[in-house]
Amino acid sequence: MPLKDDVDQLKAELAQLKLQHLSQQSSLSRQLAEFSAKLDSISLQLEQQGNGPLTTASTSTNDIIAPYGTTIDPRDEIASLQSEEMAPHIQPQAPEANPWQDDPWQRHAKSPSAAVDSPVDLQQDDLQQDKAFSQQAGIEVGVQAASQLETLLSQGVAAIMAPFAAITEQVKGFYQHYQAKGLGPVFLMTVAGIITLTLGFGYLLQYSINHWFSELGKALLGFGCANAIIAGGIFIRQKRAGMADFGSGIVGLGLILNYLCAYFIGPYFEIIPSSASFILLLLITLAGYGLSMRLDAKVIAVIALVGGSMAPMMLLSQSYAPLLYIPYLLLIGAGALAQSRKLHWPLLLEITAFLHIACIEAFSYFVDLPLTQWGGAAVLALVSINALFYLYGLFGFIVNSSTNSLSHRALILPIALLAFALFEITQFTPFAGEIFIANALICAGLYVKLKSRLEPSQSSLLLVFGSSFAAFAALYLLSHDFLGLVLILEALLLLWIGLKEKLISVRTEAYVLLLTGLMLNLYAVLTGFSLLGLGEQTPVAALGFPLFALILSTAALLFVIRQIGNDELSLSRLERQLIYLFKELLSGFYVATLLLAAYLVSNDYYLAIIPLVSLLLLYFSGKDKLMVSEFAAWLLLLPLLFTVVEGITLSGSLSFSVQPLIAKLARIELFAALLLAHYWYRKHYPSSLFAQAAKQIQLGCYLLLPLILLPKVMRSYWEFTAVALWLSSLFSLALAYVIKHKALEIEAKILTWLAILTTASLCLFEVWQGLIALLIGALVMGFVLLRYRKLAKPWASLLTLQWQLSPYYFALVLAVLVYGFNRVDVVAWSMTALALSGYFALLLQRRTKHGAVQTGLMAHLAIETQAAVRSSYSLAYGLCLGLALLPIMLHFEISLRLDLNNALLFLCELMALALLALLILRRGVAIRLHQRFLPLQWLKWGWHGLLVLSYLTWSYAFDNMIAAPLSAILLVVHGSVLMFISLKPQHGDMIRLAAGLFTLATLKVLLLDMASFELVQKVIAFMLIGVILLTVSYFYQKARNRLQEANQ
């Protein structure tokens, strides 16, 4: 038969077209894979150029990811193989143009197979493109940033449009369905034709009603045409093979025209009353549902649903009973539910639910809410809202669900319906609390009834719904004081059920309710304090019940943590994080409860328990590694610090005695807490980040301990400052021995220095309390000096500075004793300097004879003192020489008188010169050790220079008539003596010094004295000088000759 042959030929052509399409698709997939491989190779080369060679793990070809999110589909390869096998059985046709000939990714490879089979060519192409891609690297960075921004924006839009994503996907699926059949253009033309024909028919009805027919004729004409179109669509669907979808579209067009006719004859032209229009729309919708169920067409069902739901919105402004719209939607929803089950299309129910939510939200603008007149329509509307929730959220999703898992998409509808029901009930009626209780009981009954028939994930939603209704009922019916406790109690019940039945959704709601209840109880505390601040209530009345709520909240948190910890149920990561959060909250509620209870006991001294509360927080942080609680434990000490600052501000003084009692307690507790915190960390939580900080803070407290009494002593009893410093230094030494920290050792040394200097200052200013400090210091230094070398190593290392300072401290004692014998400053300082110089000379020169046994306290003291001064030998040597100069230098401060002071000063100068001469002549260890820096010859010349200075100053103390010749004569005598001394070989260098003195005497006489000499002075001076020089010359020559003869 010709018709059968035509059908066979069409089938063959269709198979050939399918194979060509599949081969082209597989070719595209291979090209995309090649492009991905090129990009990977180029990126590796770029990284090697920038960072050196990189080693990459080998990957299989199946793991290559194509760009733009495309992957190699194995079905494409199978399809291409099938096309190659079936190609010989198909008659070849005229060659077609290659649809990929303009593809820019094919310009470098002639065929995909060649690119795959020849990696050498691929590598050459990669090398050629390397430079181009390197130049575009900067542009690609910007493109990637823009792509990331676009991705973020698209994710945000997708999250907002998530409820409608399923509808969009379904519409897209319709088009892809027709496109897969090769009817994509036909689908678009059909849709466009329906839209244009609907518009044309609408304008035709408007024109005909205005010009041609009567009202009845117009209605009959419109409905006749619409129903005729429906009949034609049914005929096409049933009688024409392959035209079922087209026929369904025509039937849908007929339904749309029916809705349009109902609109025109109803609210637009008011041909029939609103009630009749309403019934007419319902009939059209029911007819659409019937047609969709009879014809098994989804398009008709959607058109009937949308038209039937939205068309009555046009009647609401003129309707006398607008509340009937909600029961009307309930009827349509029931039909949609039946239709979705008949068509096995759950998406229809989701579309219906979201559409009706939008319709009721729009409907709320046409009526005054909440409803005040409770007639039959109002009750029916309110019952319908609740029935819509149960219809879509429970029966439609739980009972009629095709899946047992609760994915994010599956949860969108029931959660949206729950929010819709809660919101709309509160908008429609002031009795929302009672209605919520009824709904909670209904959900609980359904859970008990359907628990055995439903999956755990589905039955858990009933618990979630029931608990949500119960929570909102409590919000409306209970006082705000009890609301937090009720929510916590409900949360505990839900948590128990969720753990027992292993329902994560129920546990999630329990966590939300628990957190809400806790926040409400904390807010109740703040409210109580605000009422207390206004003076409206007493502390017990304002904060008594919030304290009780805090206690119960703490107990609830403890119960929740233990229940979750004792349960063997595997928890999700979010739940484990929530447990950590609950432990942190438990610590916070402990603190709030204790502080509030203390405040009610005594609102003046409640801060005194802060150290104990802080220790409790540290205990919880160490037990469960709670970072926030540990940080809060330290922050909790700030109120004590603020109390201390407030006490100082109010009293206007830093003195501890004048502070308020709470400020004194705060100061003691704060210091003790900071001091002892490190001991707790070291024992219980050594790995904490705050452990090192606690250690440093404790060290600071230890450094402050020896200084605590110093401000009080300096402010009120400044005369005893030196005594306080000695005691503080001893305390610091004891702390340094116990704590063994370098900072405490340094503090002890500083305090020792300050004590010595302060003691010396007080003694200098003749404050008798300084003598007490001097005695205490002498006892301390004496003990250290006598016992140092017998002490254990820890004490010896601590007392090294004190041991080294002890000889100098006893020099201070000696200075104070000597200075007290004379009230004249010059003489007293000279005697003191001489005594100190002699003291240091003894320390430098005293030696223990070999074989001799030293007995007695003084001998032992001398030995220990010499041992102590050995480390500072140079300093002692310098002090010995420098202090010996002081009596001679102070001679300029007095005048010549025959009194005891001048005699003492002369005696001091003489003894100082004798002491220096003795040191030089003995050539002790000190001189030998320092001969490199201060040679013996310099010492000798220096001593003679001091002698010259001494007798010159004493000479010029007389009248000028005597002073000038006397000084010249003394210089000549001094030079003559040096000449005799130079005769000894070891003092041969003195001849030069003698020549210098003679030269000085000559220049003095000629340049200074001759002009002022009188005749008698000249006679006496020259005669005496001449006699002296001749006598010295004679005896010097005689002695020299005797030495020469002895040497021969």
What does the H/E/C string look like for 394-458? HHHHHHCCCCCCCCHHHHHHHHHHHHHHHHHHHHHCCCHHHHHHHHHHHHHHHHHHHCCCCCHHH
Structure confidence at residue 25 as a pLDDT band (50, 70, 90): low
618/703 same-domain check = yes
Helix residue ranges per DSSP H, 264-365: 274-295, 298-310, 325-343, 346-363
182/301 same-domain check = yes
**What are the DSSP calls for 984-1003, one per residue?**
SGGGTTHHHHHHHHHHHHHH
Q: What is the pLDDT of residue 87?
A: 38
Residue 615 falls inside a structural domain: yes
Residue 681 above 70 pLDDT? yes
1018 or 1001, higher pLDDT: 1001
202/73 same-domain check = no
> What is d(CA 335, CA 342) in angstroms, rounded to the nearest whole number?
10
Q: pLDDT tens-digit profile of 802-812?
A: 888 888 998 88
Residue 1013 falls inside a structural domain: yes
Residue 87 falls inside a structural domain: yes
pTM for the full predicted model: 0.55
Q: pLDDT tens-digit profile of 805-841?
A: 888 998 888 888 888 777 667 777 888 888 888 888 8
131/187 same-domain check = no
- Residue ending a domain, choose from 692, 708, 724: 708
> How many independent structural domains does the chain possess?
4
223/308 same-domain check = yes
189/311 same-domain check = yes
63/191 same-domain check = no
Q: What is the pLDDT of residue 756?
A: 92
Residue 184 falls inside a structural domain: yes
> What is d(CA 123, CA 464) in angstroms, rounded to the nearest whole number?
61
Give burial (CB, 10 Å; 0-12/13-18/19+) of 613.
Answer: buried
Residue 702's closest CA among 669, 667, 738, 668? 738
> What is d(CA 195, CA 191) in angstroms, rounded to the nearest whole number?
6
> Could you give the C-alpha distances from 142 to 36, 132, 136, 151, 153, in angstroms and in order?
20, 17, 10, 14, 17
Q: What tokens were used for 566?
A: 């004792």
The answer to whether 301 and 289 have CB atoms below 8 angstroms apart is yes
- Residue ending a domain, choose from 106, 121, 137: 137
Please provide the average confidence, as pLDDT, over all residues in the chain.
74
Instruction: Return the minimum-mean-pLDDT range out of 222-231, 773-782, 857-866.
Output: 857-866
> What is d(CA 991, CA 940) in angstroms, rounded to the nearest whole number?
12
Residue 211 falls inside a structural domain: yes
- Using DSSP, state whether 736 is helix, strand or coil: helix
- Residue ending a domain, choose from 320, 351, 377: 320
> What is d(CA 79, CA 25) in angstroms, rounded to the nearest whole number?
9
Q: How far is CA 851 from the centre of its chain?
A: 74
Instruction: Return the minimum-mean-pLDDT range out of 57-61, 127-131, 581-585.
Output: 57-61
> What is d(CA 508, CA 582) in angstroms, rounded to the nearest whole number?
14
Residue 772 above 70 pLDDT? yes
199/265 same-domain check = yes
Q: pLDDT tens-digit profile of 899-931?
A: 666 677 778 888 888 888 788 777 776 777 777
182/316 same-domain check = yes
Q: pLDDT tens-digit profile of 481-523?
A: 777 888 888 888 888 878 877 778 778 888 888 998 899 889 9
Residue 156 falls inside a structural domain: no
Q: What is the pLDDT of residue 114?
A: 36
Q: What is the pLDDT of residue 95?
A: 40
**What are the DSSP calls for 447-490, one per residue?**
HHHHTTTS-HHHHHHHHHHHHHHHHHHHHHHS-HHHHHHHHHHH
**What are the DSSP calls for 565-580, one per residue?**
HH--PPPPHHHHHHHH
Residue 219 falls inside a structural domain: yes
57/106 same-domain check = yes
Q: pLDDT tens-digit profile of 143-163?
A: 454 455 455 445 444 444 544
Q: Is the backbone of residue 370 left (phi > 0), alpha (psi -120 to 50) or beta?
A: beta
Residue 778's closest CA among 821, 729, 813? 813
- pLDDT > 70 in the chain, percent: 68
129/215 same-domain check = no
- Using DSSP, state whether 842 is helix, strand or coil: helix
59/184 same-domain check = no
Structure confidence at residue 1032 as a pLDDT band (50, 70, 90): low
Residue 435 above 80 pLDDT? yes
The answer to whether 419 and 469 have CB atoms below 8 angstroms apart is no
Q: What tokens were used for 708?
A: 């605590």
> What is d(CA 553, CA 483) in angstroms, rounded to the nearest whole number?
12
Residue 629 falls inside a structural domain: yes
Domain hosting residue 1048, numbered range: 958-1048
If you average pLDDT over residues 126-147, what whole number do you get?
48
Q: What is the pLDDT of residue 746?
A: 92
